[in-house]
Structure 1
Amino acid sequence: MFRRNSSKQVADATPADAVPAEPVMNGTSTKGRPTPTRKEAEAARKFRLGALPADPKERRRAERSANRSSYDRSRQALRAGDERHYPVRDQGPAKAFVRDYVDGRIRLLEMLMPLVILCWATLLMRNTSIYIYSSFVMEIVVVLGIGLGVLLGQRVKRQVAATFGPDEVRGTGFYAFSRAVMPRFLRQPKPRVTMRGEPKVR
């Protein structure tokens, strides 16, 4: 008798809309549903708060507009030298160090791009002799560029590891190569050191 009354009182005291928590083991609930990831939970939270329109077309339009605004802001930051709004690939003191390292002297890699463009232009000519020589020169330029890029990347990685630690080395070699092959006046962010390694006077 007392047991049935106690059970009834507990049932009456439980709110009708209460849902018992589901135990989670190894990232999966006991009902077989996977636990939402942090990204999914954040997206659901934004949707509930009304950060994104409910209509799929409007949501895509809003996302494109936000991406375009972020891209324009990053471009303006690169031109103005505002490091707070740099793209992710250009952020951090290690990347700034790599840029200064590459910009601090004249690089042979920088001179290869105009040569490649010249060879490519001559390939459009119908002269067989010029075509053969241009193809040969372009192959040499490509091999030379790869070799110089590998050497530059190794030097940059050693410098970054010695200055900032091994955790900051990842990606710096290719970052240095991609900047070195670009003509100096086209590099973004703009160089902040002269070709002698001295800080520019603004």
Structure 2
Amino acid sequence: MFRRSKSESTATEPLVVKEGGKGRPTPTRREAEAAAKARAKVPRTRKELAQAQRQARMESSQQVRSAMKTGDERYLMPRDKGPVRRFIRDYVDARFSIVELMIPLLIVTMVLGYSGNPDLRSMGNTLLLGTLLLVIVDLLLLRRRVRKEIGRRFPGEPLKGTTYYTVTRAMQMKFMRMPKSKVKIGQELPEHYS
């Protein structure tokens, strides 16, 4: 009859923190196990840290490799990102280049050079010099056309680095280009890239 109820005693009595106590409630088993798992994932030694970094690098490079094949712009390297770079890739991939004939012509030149016949050897050298001259002229014309198209399609965009990107892409065989080609030779390119 004169007793206090439980709810009254907790509401009226202030919470007393024991002197020298931890100042927080004891964690439940679930909380303690979750904290232990989180601590176990954090590398403690240099060896574990190096292994975790190596694993992160492998995952990142795997994403970049798959993006190079699929063209997913989120994971491409910074040099390949953006609408201007995508346009350059498409422009270079949509045209037939003399560079694509370079390796077969170099093989023919090498065979002619080792034939032992002086006339065939001189023909091989002439073929090699003619091929190199055609490649240089082709790359210069490509550079001029790409810069003109970039100026028309992307007014105000800086042209810095576009020549190097264009020439390095054009110098590769089509099946070796990364990011993979999205257009076929002779395909019409879209007017706007975003």
User: What TM bracket, shorter-length normalisation?
Assistant: 0.5 to 0.7
In structure 1, distance between residues paired with 2:106 and 2:60: 33
In the alignment, what sits opposite 1:164?
154
Measure, in 2, the Cα distance between the counterparts of 1:118 and 1:68: 41
Looking at structure 2, the residues matched to 86 and 63 of structure 1 have their Cα atoms a distance apart, in angstroms, of 20
Counterpart-to-counterpart distance in 2, 1:78 and 1:165: 27
CA contact 2:73–2:81 (8 Å) conserved in 1:
yes
Tell me if 1:196 matches 2:186: yes
Deviation at 1:121, TM superposition (A): 4.9
Aligned equivalents of 1:186, 1:138: Cα separation in 2: 23
TM-score, normalised to structure 2's length? 0.60
Moved segments of 4+, more than 3 Å? 61-72, 120-123, 165-168
User: 1:153-189 deviations in whole A, cap 9, x for unaligned?
Assistant: 1110121122223543122223222222333233222
Partner residue in 1 for 2:63? 73
Shift in Å, 1:97 = 0.5
**Equivalent in 154, 173, 178 of residue 168 of structure 2:** 178
Q: Which letter does structure 1 place at the counterpart of 2:164?
A: F
Quote the offset at 1:93 in angstroms.
0.6
Aligned equivalent of 1:108, options 98, 101, 119: 98
What letter corresponds to residue 65 of structure 2 in structure 1?
Answer: R
Which amino acid in 2 is paired with 1:146?
I
Mapped to 1, the partners of 2:138 and 2:55 lie a distance apart of 41
Between the aligned partners of 1:67 and 1:150, the Cα distance in structure 2 is 38
Partners of 2:156 and 2:133 lie apart in 1 by: 29
Report the residue type matching 2:134 in the other structure. Answer: L
Residue 141 of structure 1 is matched in structure 2 by 131
Q: CA RMSD in A?
A: 3.1
Distance 1:98 1:66 in 2: 31
Q: Which runs of 5+ in 2 are unaligned?
A: 1-41, 190-194
* % identical equivalent positions: 30
Unaligned 5+ segments in structure 1 are 1-49
- 1:53-112 CA-to-partner distances (Å, cap 9, x unmatched) read 768xx76x7766655544433222111221211122211110100111122232333223
CA distance in 2: counterparts of 1:183 and 1:92, whole angstroms: 23
Residue 80 of structure 2 is matched in structure 1 by: 90
**Structure of higher CA gyration radius:** 2
Equivalent of residue 109 in structure 2, options 119, 122, 125: 119
CA gap of 1:116–1:175, structure 2 versus 1, over 3 A, is: farther
CA contact (8 A) 1:100 1:197 kept: no
Q: Which amino acid aligns with 1:133?
A: M
**Aligned partners of 1:119 and 1:138 also within 8 Å:** yes
